[in-house]
Structure 1
Amino acid sequence: MMAADHSVPPSLSASVEGSFAYLTIRDRLPTILTKVIDTIHRNKNKFFEEYGEEGINAEKQTIGLLSKLRNELQTDKPVLELTDSLQDAESWNQYLQRQQRLQGDQESVSWFKSPWLYVECYMYRRIQEALWLNPPISDFDVFNEAKTQSFYASQQAVMALCTYLEDVRKNMEKLSKNLLLEHFNTLLQVSLWGNRCDLSISAGQDNAQKTSPIESLNSLQPFILVNDSSMVWSTLNSPQEPGESGTKTADRVDIVLDNAGFELVTDLVLADFLVSSGLARQIHFHGKSFPWFVSDVTVNDLQWTIQQTMGANHKWVSKCGFQWRNYLKEGVWHYHEHPFWTQPHEFCDMAADAPELYATLQQAALVLFKGDLNYRKLTGDRDWDHTVGFSTALRGFGPAPLCSLRTLKANIQVGLQPGLGEKLTSQDPTWMTSGKYAVIQSFCQKSE
C-alpha cells in the first residue's frame, strides 16, 4: 500500500457556520428535516391503509423523534449515540467517541462545534434511525417523491442522451480512435455536469436537467477548472497487468454513484458506452444502503430508473432500459452496497476501517467518484490551499487509479493553478458553492 502522508493536514474546513449554494448549512439541515417530517405526515393515510393503527402510531412516533432531532440541531445540543440495531450503529458510536477524544473532555461534541461533514452525515443517519425504530414504516424512503419528480422533470434531457448513445452504438465498429475519444469525452462531461442535479444542496427544491445535455457542453467548457480526461482515457487504454502488452480493455471500471434522477441516467449511459465500445469489460456501481443526502442512489433507485426507461414511450430510451437490465442480469454490470459509504469517514480511513471495501476497489482498473460529497471525503473536507496537489489531499488513499467528477458545491478545491482560486474569488465569491464550476480530477498512482 502507498505510504500515507502523515504530515499534519489542515484543519477540517468548517463547522456548521459554513455555507453552500441556496441555503447556509444551519438553515439547510433544518429545512430538509422539516420536509422529511412533512412527507411522513402527508403519507399518514397510506400508512393507515397498509398497516392500520400500527402505521398511524409509527408515523406519530417517527415524527416525534425527528422533531426532537430538529430541536437538537437548531439549539446546539450534544451529538447522541445511536440506539438502533442496524449493523453500522457501533461504528457510528465509535466515531463519536473518536470526535470526543479529538475535542477533549471539556465539553460534549455538539452540532455547531463539530465538522460539518460529520454532522451532515449524522443527521441523515439519525433520520434512518427514527424510521428503523418504528416498524412497520422502517423501509419508507422519505426522499423518494423528490427523486422521482426530478427524474420526470428531466425527460427531454434523458431522451436526447439516449438518442445520442444509440447513434454512437450504430456506428461503433466504424469509429476511428479519434472519434471514439471524442464520444468518450462527450459522455464523461455529460456525467460530470449531471452532478449539478443535487437535491441535498437545493434542500429538495427542483433542480432537474431540462435541456439537452449534449448541446450545452461547448458553453460549459470554460467552467471546467481541472480537466484530466486525457489521463482517464490513457488509464482505460493502458495494459492492465505487466506482460499483457496487447490488452487495451480495462477489465473493470467502478463508479461510486452520487445522485438518482438525471445524474444516474448520465452515469448509466457512460457505463453503457464504456462496455459497448470495448473500453471496459465490467462496470461495478457502488451506491448507498439507505436513503442518504436526499437524492443519493440506492438499489431501489437503480431498479426503478431502469424500469422507467424500459417502459418509456420513446424507442431509444426504452432500448437503453432493456439493455441496462440485461447488463445486470448477465453480470456485465454489478451493484454493491457497503456501510462505509453512509458513514462520515474520510476515504483515507477506508483501508483501516473498511479493508474489505478497499480490497474490492483495488480490483478496478479505474474508479470514478461522482459528486461533491465524495470529493469532500476524498480530500478530508479540509481547508487545503487551492494549489495543493490532489494526490497530497488524498492522504494516501489510492486503491486504484481514480477520478473525481464533481461540480463545486462546497468550500473546498485543490489542484488549481497558482492564482486561479484568488482570481475566481475576486470575480465570483460563490464559485466554490454555486455548482457553476466543475473538475475532472485524476490520480493514477495505484497502491500496492
Structure 2
Amino acid sequence: MRDTPEELLVGTPGRYAREVFHDRHPTLIERVAAAHPYGEAQRSALRALLDESLTGEVRGLPGDAPDWADWDAWDRGYFGRPWAEVPFLWAESYFYRRILDAVDYFRAGPWQGVDPFAPMKAAELADPALDRDFAWVLSLPSSADGLDAVVRASVFGNRADISFRLQEPDAAWSDELLLDDTSRLALALPGSVCVVVDNGGREIMADLVLANWLLDTGRADRVTLHVKPMPYYVSDATASDVDDACARLGRPLDPRIAVRTHWFWCAPLDFRAMPADLADDLRGHRVVLVKGDLNYRRLVGDRDWDPTTPFAAAAVDLGVPVVALRTCKSEVVVGLDGATVAWLDAAEPRWRVSGRHGLVQAR
C-alpha cells in the first residue's frame, strides 16, 4: 500500500503554491480593486489582505461574520500561524473568503451581495468570438463521436480555439488529452447525471452544451448542476452565472436540468470531509462528473502525489461512478503511466500547471 503523501504548503520554495500567492495574487487583488468603484475602505482592506498573506499570520474572520463558526470548526491550528506554513488548499480557499470580507460582500451597505468577480465573468461572456466558438453545437452528432466532442469541450471549455480543435482527428489530441476515459462514461449511461461545476463564463456554456446533448440524445433523463453558493476563486460558477450562460447560448434552461448548491463547495476541505446529506445527493445519480482543477484537488487530496499513483487509489470513493474532467493547472495529478510522465517532464517542465493538458479520468 502506498503511503499518503504530505499536503502541499503555501510557502514551499519552488512549488506552484508559493507562485500562486506571491506572483498571481498581487495581480488578482489589483483586478478586484478595479472591478467595481469601491471606496478607499475596500481597496485598503484588499491591500492589507495581500500584505498579510505574503508576510503575515493568518487572521480570523470578524466575530459577526455569518460563517464565523464554520471557519472556527475548519481551523486546524492555522489561525495565528504564518500563511506560508498553511496547507495550500485551506489557505487558498480562505484567501478568497477574505476577499469577500474585504469588499463588504456580507456587510449591510452598497456592496452587500455584489459579486467582486462579476465584471470579469461578464467580459468573457461579452466576447463576440463566443458566437463562432459555439457554432459547432448546431452540428453535433448523436453518436459516440458527439459524446467525445462534448466531453472534450467541457474539459477544454475555457479555450478560445475550441471550435476548431473539436474538428481535428483524435491523433491531434494525443499530447493534450493525457488520459481519456470517455468510453467508461459512456458505459455508465443512460441515467441521471450530476455535474459538479467549476467555472462560469465560456466553461459553464460548454457544460450546458454537454448537459443538453446528454438529454437530447437520451443519454441522460435528468442532469443536476452543482454550483457554488457564493463568489469563489474568481471564475467559479454560481446560479446566476448559469442564468447568464443560458442567455448567452440563446437557449433557456431545460426543465430537466436542476441547479443546486451546498455550503461544502466553498469549504476548505477535500471530499473525504463531504457531509452525509451531500454525499447522499450525489449517490442518487448514475454518474457524477467532477469538473475542474480545484475539484480534482479536493477529489484526490491536495498532496504531493506521485503522478503514477492509480487514480482509484487516490480519489475518494463517493459510492457512485465518478469521472473527473480537468485541465492541469496545479501540481496535483495522478493516474498517468511512467513513460508519459517522463516525456512530459522532459518536453514541458511546467506541464502540470500550464492548462494545456487535460484529463478524463473515471473511478
TM-score, structure 2 as length reference: 0.91
Question: What SS class does the counterpart of residue 290 from structure 1 fall into?
Answer: coil
Matches within 5 A, 1:348-359: 348-350=272-274, 354-359=275-280
Computing the radius of gyration from Cα coordinates, the structure with the larger value is 1
Instruction: State the one-letter code of the partner of 1:13.
Output: L
The superposition leaves residues 186-232 of structure 1 with CA deviations (integer Å, 9 ceiling, x where unpaired) of 111111111x55xxxxxxxxxx5575352356433332111111111
1:13 to 4, 8, 11: 8
**3-state DSSP class of the match of 1:412?**
coil
Distance 1:305 1:345 in 2: 28
Q: Are 1:156 and 2:133 an aligned pair?
A: no
- What's the offset of the Cα at 1:122? 0.6
2:289 paired residue number = 368
Say whether residues 1:26 and 2:6 are aligned partners: no
Match of 2:176 in 1: 223
In structure 2, the CA distance between the partners of 1:217 and 1:110, relative to structure 1 (3 Å rule), is farther
Task: Give the drift of 1:83.
Answer: 2.1
Question: Which aligned pairs between 1:336-355 and structure 2 lie closer than 5 A?
Answer: 336-350=260-274, 354-355=275-276
Question: 2:58 is matched with which residue: 58, 70, 79?
Answer: 79
Q: CA deviation at 1:94?
A: 1.5
- Asked whether the 8 Å contact 1:62–1:134 carries over to 2, the reply is no
Instruction: Return the alpha-carbon distance in structure 1 between the equivalents of residues 344 and 115 of structure 2.
Output: 39
Residue deviations 1:107-151 (CA, integer Å, cap 9, x gap): 942211111111111111011223223523111111111111122
Q: CA deviation at 1:260?
A: 1.1
Aligned residues: 358
Write the distance in 1 (CA, Å) between the matches of 2:359 and 2:45: 39
The answer to whether the aligner puts 1:281 opposite 2:221 as a matched pair is yes
- The amino acid that maps onto 2:52 is E
2:42 corresponds to: 62
Secondary structure at the aligned position of 2:145 is classed as: helix
Look up the SS of the partner of 2:334 in the other structure: coil
Residues 308 and 334 in structure 2, CA contact (< 8 A), matched pair in contact too: yes
1:327-354 superposed Cα distances (whole Å, 9 cap, x missing partner): 1xx3x0111111111111011111xxx2
What is the identity, as a one-letter code, of the residue corresponding to 1:287?
Answer: V
**How many angstroms apart in 1 are the aligned matches of 2:202 and 2:169?**
16
Which residue is equivalent to 1:176? none
Give SS of 2:206's match. helix
In structure 2, C-alpha distance between the alignment counterparts of 1:159 and 1:274, rounded to whole Å: 22
1:46-445 aligned at under 5 Å gives the runs 59-75=39-55, 77-83=56-62, 85=64, 87-96=66-75, 98-100=76-78, 108-130=80-102, 131=104, 132-133=106-107, 135-153=109-127, 155-161=128-134, 163-168=135-140, 180-194=143-157, 196-197=158-159, 208-209=160-161, 212-216=164-168, 218=170, 219-236=172-189, 249-250=190-191, 252-310=192-250, 321-322=251-252, 324=253, 327=254, 330=255, 332-350=256-274, 354-394=275-315, 396-443=316-363
Structure 2 distance, partners of 1:220, 1:269, is: 20
Q: Gaps (5+ residues) in structure 1? A: 45-58, 101-106, 173-179, 198-207, 237-248, 311-320, 444-448
1:363-397 deviation digits (Å, cap 9, x = unpaired): 01111111111111111111111111112112x43
- Cα drift, residue 292 of structure 1: 1.0
Structure 1 residue matching 2:232: 3-state secondary structure: coil
Secondary structure, aligned partner of 1:146: helix
> Is the Cα–Cα contact under 8 Å of residues 329 and 353 in structure 2 kept in the other structure?
yes
Q: Does 1 or 2 have the higher relative contact order (CA < 8 Å, sep 6+)?
A: 1
Distance 2:65 2:219 in 1: 39
Identity across aligned pairs (percent)? 28
